Amino acid sequence: MSSEQDFTKRKLWGGRFTGSTDPLMHEFNQSLKYDKRMYAADVKGSIAFSKALLKAGIVNEHEQKEIERGLKTVEGEWAEGKFAVQADDEDIHTANERRLSEIIGKDIGGKLHTGRSRNDQVATDMRIWLMEESTQVEQYLKDLLNVMVSRAEKEVDAIMPGYTHLQRAQPVRWSHLLLSHAQSFLSDLDRLRQLQPRISVLPLGSAALAGNPYSLDRELLRKELGFKSIGENSMHAVADRDFIVEWLQWASLLQIHMSRMAEDLIIYSSAEFGFVQLSDAYSTGSSIMPQKKNPDSLELLRGKAGRTFGQMAGFMMSLKGVPSTYNKDLQEDKEPLFDAVDTISAALRIAEGVIATLTINPAKMAQALTMDMLATDIADYLVRKGVPFRETHHISGRSVALAEQNKIQISDLTMEQWKDLSPHFTDDVMDVFDFENSVEKRNAIGGPARGMIKRQVDVARERIGK
């Protein structure tokens, strides 16, 4: 037999083939270069499977213990960077099984794959890996939220303009702005937790597509691997990648929220605003303009949203035409998912660092407040005097126009001018022109008053801790 034929024969599927594999096809087909990061998940699934084989009578107790010993040795080699990859290692599953047989011998190692296919094996590995990664990502998200909530609680005194259409609108607290972004991340936290049970569905025991023929105890597998439920249909179980699509969709939405927060902070850190200043640790300089301090961390957070969405859209296009059960197209699930998990993990940690270390400039925020932002407060003042809101809105608008005509702040209108606008104005109208009072009057749930900031902080912490 030629060396090329021997190369093909050594593959798990090689017995059917008499010709050799094109080396380019081997490279095109193999996934070990990126799926090796699932080595621990693959070992975990294989050890559990060996225990199910023991219960089914396929291996004896000695053989199961040898398989487990060998697999733990394999895992150790990966962890220590000592695993020697061979040319015919197509993926993490074949690499681990090949090495297992070298350690404990083919007579025992060759029994591990009994009644198991790479189809249910890879689906299981992906779910194990993603469950563990999601737990870590959840912690990163909680860390970011805790920093945001803590800052909001401590910096409640700072009042700044709130904007609509990027035009000054009404005064709000800096804390209110920060917590507005935290609300988006809290929803992301809820959605990630809701996604976990749909990731935690056991495919192992489905074999290639038609199920396991050895009366395998899948409930034993479920418990051993910590899955919440078992895939009820073997054809669906080996081909289901909805959990990956959902995770990519979740990641895309989180990155959009990250991008929107980054955009606010980029704007507010510019010299034109000066409301916040980024730490040097999360900024860079210009190669030609020494005065520049660029918010590169925030710009990258904003840019990564496109990358994550692209991974999701690309995989959905790979998935859309795949017929029933496993097809090799599904190998395209790994790189988008791995990249998205890496991107999200890094983005959350960078965002946490940015928020934890930036400084705010309450004086600059206060300088940006203008009396015309209290126009709605004037309308509210008249409402409290019994005037219908639609009429008060019109009167308030006229007062703004009058101040503009006279090139003065609205608060500088004379009492005579106020009386001309409406007989309902009295000397107490001047009490309206206080930004702190304006904010404190908005004390319904969801408002920026101090009491409502405290409520938002308490509710956020409760949701984070669930």
What count of Cα atoms within 13 Å lies in the side-chain half-sphere of residue 180? 13
Contact 360, 155 (CB under 8 A): yes
Residue 458 resides in a domain: no
Do 260 and 325 share a domain, yes or no?
Answer: yes
Give tens-digit pLDDT for 398-436.
999 999 999 999 999 999 999 999 999 999 999 999 999
Residue 20 resides in a domain: no
Alpha-carbon span 304 to 299, nearest angstrom: 9
> Residue 170: helix, strand or coil by DSSP?
strand
Rounded average pLDDT over 221-242: 97
Give tens-digit pLDDT for 166-185.
999 999 999 999 999 999 99
Do 142 and 289 share a domain, yes or no?
Answer: yes
257 classed as catalytic: no
Of 3-17, 80-94, 452-466, which range is least confident? Answer: 3-17
Q: What is the pTM of this model?
A: 0.91
pLDDT of 16 > 70? The answer is: no
Residue 10 resides in a domain: no
Do 71 and 104 share a domain, yes or no?
Answer: yes
Which among 150, 213, 219, 141 has a CA at the least distance from the CA of 184? 141
Residue 359 resides in a domain: yes
Do 275 and 336 share a domain, yes or no?
Answer: yes
Rounded average pLDDT over 84-107: 94
Into how many domains does the chain fold? 3
Alpha-carbon span 359 to 61, nearest angstrom: 62
Which among 389, 384, 359 has a CA at the least distance from the CA of 275? 359
Do 336 and 390 share a domain, yes or no?
Answer: no
Residue 289 resides in a domain: yes
Do 155 and 236 share a domain, yes or no?
Answer: yes
| Domain end marker among 333, 367, 401 | 367
| Domain end marker among 52, 76, 109 | 109
165 classed as catalytic: yes
What pLDDT score was predicted for residue 18? 53
Rounded average pLDDT over 130-134: 97
Alpha-carbon span 338 to 93, nearest angstrom: 17
Residue 145 resides in a domain: yes
Rounded average pLDDT over 119-125: 96
Exposed, middle or buried, 62 (CB in 10 Å: 0-12/13-18/19+)?
exposed
Q: What is the CATH number of the domain that holds 147?
A: 1.20.200.10
Do 268 and 246 share a domain, yes or no?
Answer: yes
Do 184 and 313 share a domain, yes or no?
Answer: yes
- Tokens coding 101: 């047989």
First to last CA, the chain: 62
Q: What is the CATH number of the domain that holds 39?
A: 1.10.275.10
Contact 440, 449 (CB under 8 A): yes
How many other β-carbons are positioned within 10 Å of the β-carbon of residue 307? 15
Do 358 and 382 share a domain, yes or no?
Answer: no
Give tens-digit pLDDT for 250-260.
999 999 999 99
Active-site pick, 215, 229, 279, 286: 286
Rounded average pLDDT over 266-272: 95
Residue 279 resides in a domain: yes
Alpha-carbon span 444 to 16, nearest angstrom: 73
Do 130 and 105 share a domain, yes or no?
Answer: no
Altogether, the residues listed in the chain come to a count of 466
What pLDDT score was predicted for residue 3? 40
Give tens-digit pLDDT for 206-228.
999 999 999 999 999 999 999 99
Bridge partners of residue 277, in order along the sequence: 359
Do 103 and 124 share a domain, yes or no?
Answer: no
What pLDDT score was predicted for residue 14? 52
pLDDT of 7 > 70? The answer is: no
Do 301 and 377 share a domain, yes or no?
Answer: no
Q: What is the CATH number of the domain that holds 414?
A: 1.10.40.30
Give tens-digit pLDDT for 354-404.
999 999 999 999 999 999 999 999 999 999 999 999 999 999 999 999 999
Active-site pick, 2, 3, 165, 287: 165
Which among 62, 64, 32 has a CA at the least distance from the CA of 46? 64
Alpha-carbon span 79 to 73, nearest angstrom: 10
pLDDT band for position 273 (cuts 50, 70, 90) = very high
pLDDT band for position 9 (cuts 50, 70, 90) = very low
Find the domain containing 55 and state its range: 31-109
Residue 7 resides in a domain: no
Cα-based distances in Å from 460 to 176, 182, 442, 457:
13, 8, 20, 5
What pLDDT score was predicted for residue 10? 52
pLDDT of 6 > 80? The answer is: no
